[in-house]
Amino acid sequence: MSTRNNSNQLVNPMARQALDKFKMEAAQELNIRDEYKSGYWGNLTSRECGAVGGQMVKKMIEHAQNQMANGTNVNAPTSSQDAQNINLGNQAGNFKPQQ
């Protein structure tokens, strides 16, 4: 039996509760059996779990598309360091070699 290597690490560990809530909302939208409400998803079929994950992805894509359509930057900097890195990237993009 192989050892399990969980590579599903959150970028921001503080988002775990929000993602769990999002997962519950997606399950409710799909009318999945109420067994997941205890926090244990092992009694659900792979098809049901996959449907919940698919619904989550669908909602995230919809959200990103709405942000782009409204002119909101989906990849907006979250800190001043990020803003500096973006500015440096923009400057590097304007580089013109000497002739």
Task: Give me the pLDDT at residue 13, please.
Answer: 82
Report the distance separating Cα 66 and Cα 51, nearest Å: 22
Average pLDDT estimate for 26-45: 89
Interacting residues of 86 by C-beta distance below 8 A, sequence separation 6+: 77
- pLDDT tens digits, residue range 62-88? 999 999 998 876 565 555 555 555 554
Give CA torsion, residues 8, 11, 13, 17, to 10 deg: -80
In the chain, pLDDT over 90 holds for what percent of residues? 37
Sequence letter at residue 26: A
Residues 6+ apart with CB under 8 A from 41: 49
Q: Measure the CA–CA gap between 99 and 85, rounded to whole angstroms.
A: 28
